Amino acid sequence: MLDPKFIRQNPEVIREALKKRASDFDLDAFLILDQTHRDLNQQLEELYAVQNRINKEVKQLLKDKKPPAEKIQESKEIKKEIEGIKSKFKGLTGDWDKQTFEIPNIPHASLPIGDISCNKIVKEEGEFKKFDFKPLDHITLAEHLDIIDFKTAAKLIGSNFALFKGEGARLERALINFMLDLHIKEHGYKEISPPLLANRVSMTTTGQLPKFEEDMYHLKDEDYFLIPTAEVPITNLHQGEILEQEELPIAYVSYTSCFRREAGSYGKETKGLVRLHQFDKVELVKFVLPENSYQELENLLSNACRVIELLEIPYRIVLLATGDISFAAAKCYDIEIYASGLDKWLEVSSCSNFENFQARRGNIRYREKDTKKLKYVHTLNGSGVALARLVICILENYQNRDGSVTIPEVLRSYMDGKTRIEK
């Protein structure tokens, strides 16, 4: 969330940010609500002060053995007035809280202004493989090699799920271990294995709630959600805590399954592994000093790209425009990798700087070493990387004429030296 005081003092900055995002949030209505809310609060404080003064006067009258009836009646009238204003204030507070959580983050000045068509490719790396045959898509390859079973997954649960088996399951496990080892040993992240359920407070901290509740899997009998990404539990590790400046930056890596209903996504490409309701992902999360957060974003982006580089898959980095970044992000890069069979670029990571947007929601602060002042940390996260689409590109880019798939060299030690997946 944004600082309410900043919103009051800089309405034009917020208005411009909302315009860049093409947001329909009604800032004018919020400012009126905010002023009314503050006025009522001030009235309450003034009435409480009057009531305290009258109560002291009653005590003094009793001490002086004088009749306090008039002052007692005055106190009752003040109390009645307080109760009336408290009721109004409570009702407005619920609406004020709700609207405060609906205001998106301010886009960083470096972002292109506009919708998805204004996204900017800032880097392209890797060589496209030249085939002397028409490359197959991953669905055909997976069925031929009997390593991913979409039909059985549909029987077990429904559409947009996948069942990895045999060498497919082994490939997925090799990728997970490879990415965890890379980020822990080379990039200095600390591994966390969190619960796959999160409560409402945690989901609100990271920005999934209240705006995107319909896209989440929610338990019927308990107010818990299946996590859409490890970002949720990992960011909330320090919810409500005060860190010391010397502790920052803190970097965590986590492998989890992720769950997303993606309500309203019908009509998009949903075949095969492109868009699943459950998928595995290695996530990177950082807690950093505000003055270092944009350099830390570049470092995190580089860490995620290193996965793709070692797998020798063509990739590109896309700087998202103001109308395409997520609700909570101030700046975001997408990493897209090329799938030869589909002849498409597929997003496998979004690396974002949220500045203090999530930290305010989760009350995550640090104490400055010299001044001892408390400030909000900046949080960052990015996939390092998502598994399903990575598997697509490995199968499609490493396929051979006979339908076999060559295993990327960096993964072979995780698969007992095996060099190919064959039927």
- Where are the alpha helices (H) located in 65-198, listed in sequence order? 69-100, 138-145, 150-156, 167-181
- Where does residue 338 rank: exposed (0-12), middle (13-18), buried (19+ CB within 10 A)? buried
Rounded to whole angstroms, the Cα distance separating 170 from 394 reads 13
List the domain boundaries for the chain. 4-100, 116-421
321-339 pLDDT, tens per residue? Answer: 999 999 999 999 999 999 9
Mean pLDDT in residue range 84-99: 94
**Same fold for the domain at 4-100 and the one at 116-421?**
no
Q: Which residue's structure tokens are 């609500």?
A: 33
The amino acid present at 276, given as its one-letter code, is: L
pLDDT of residue 259: 97
What DSSP string runs through 346-404?
EEEEEEEE-TTHHHHHHT-EEE-TTT--EEE-EEEEEEEEEHHHHHHHHHHHSB-TTS-
Flag whether pLDDT at 54 surpasses 50: yes
Which helix (H) or strand (E) segment is 326 a member of? none
Homologous superfamily (CATH) of 4-100 is Serine-tRNA synthetase, tRNA binding domain (1.10.287.40)
Helix (H, G, I), strand (E, B) or coil at 123: strand
Flag whether pLDDT at 266 surpasses 60: no
Structure tokens at 197: 């359920």
pLDDT of residue 264: 46
pLDDT of residue 246: 98
134-176 pLDDT, tens per residue? Answer: 999 999 999 999 999 999 999 999 999 999 999 999 999 999 9
Mean pLDDT in residue range 119-146: 97
Give the relative orientation of helices 27-63 and 11-21 as an angle to the nearest 10 degrees: 140
Flag whether pLDDT at 267 surpasses 50: no
Mean pLDDT in residue range 378-388: 97
Q: Average model confidence (pLDDT) for the chain?
A: 96
Rounded to whole angstroms, the Cα distance separating 144 from 401 reads 13
Helix (H, G, I), strand (E, B) or coil at 72: helix
- Cis peptide leading into residue 285 (ω within 30°): no
Rounded to whole angstroms, the Cα distance separating 58 from 71 reads 6
> How far is C-alpha 39 from the chain's CA centre?
35
Radius of gyration of the chain (CA): 27
Give the relative orientation of helices 293-310 and 167-181 as an angle to the nearest 10 degrees: 140
Q: How far is CA 363 from CA 48, 359, 377, in A?
A: 29, 5, 9
Per-residue confidence band for 271, with pLDDT thresholds at 50, 70 and 90: confident
pLDDT of residue 260: 94
Evaluate whether 235 touches 381 at the Cβ level (below 8 Å): yes
Q: Which numeric CATH code is attached to 116-421?
A: 3.30.930.10
Paired sense of beta strands 365-367 and 374-376, if any: antiparallel
Flag whether pLDDT at 268 surpasses 60: no
pLDDT of residue 270: 66
Structure tokens at 325: 């970044």
Mean pLDDT in residue range 365-394: 98
Flag whether pLDDT at 269 surpasses 70: no
Rounded to whole angstroms, the Cα distance separating 418 from 414 reads 9
Flag whether pLDDT at 414 surpasses 60: yes
Flag whether pLDDT at 263 surpasses 60: no
The amino acid present at 31, given as its one-letter code, is: L
Rounded to whole angstroms, the Cα distance separating 55 from 75 reads 7
Mean pLDDT in residue range 252-279: 82
Give exposure, 40-59, as e/b (b: 16+ Cβ within 10 Å).
beeebeebeeebeebeebbe
Using left for φ > 0, alpha for ψ between -120 and 50, and beta otherwise, residue 65 falls in: left
What DSSP string runs through 182-251?
IIIIIT-PEE----SEEEHHHHHHHT-TTTTGGGS-B-SSSSEEE-SSTHHHHHGGGTT-EEEGGG-SEE
Mean pLDDT in residue range 280-307: 98
166-191 pLDDT, tens per residue? Answer: 999 999 999 999 999 999 999 999 99
Mean pLDDT in residue range 112-135: 97
10 Å Cβ neighbour count for 175? 24
192-206 pLDDT, tens per residue? Answer: 999 999 999 999 999
Flag whether pLDDT at 49 surpasses 60: yes
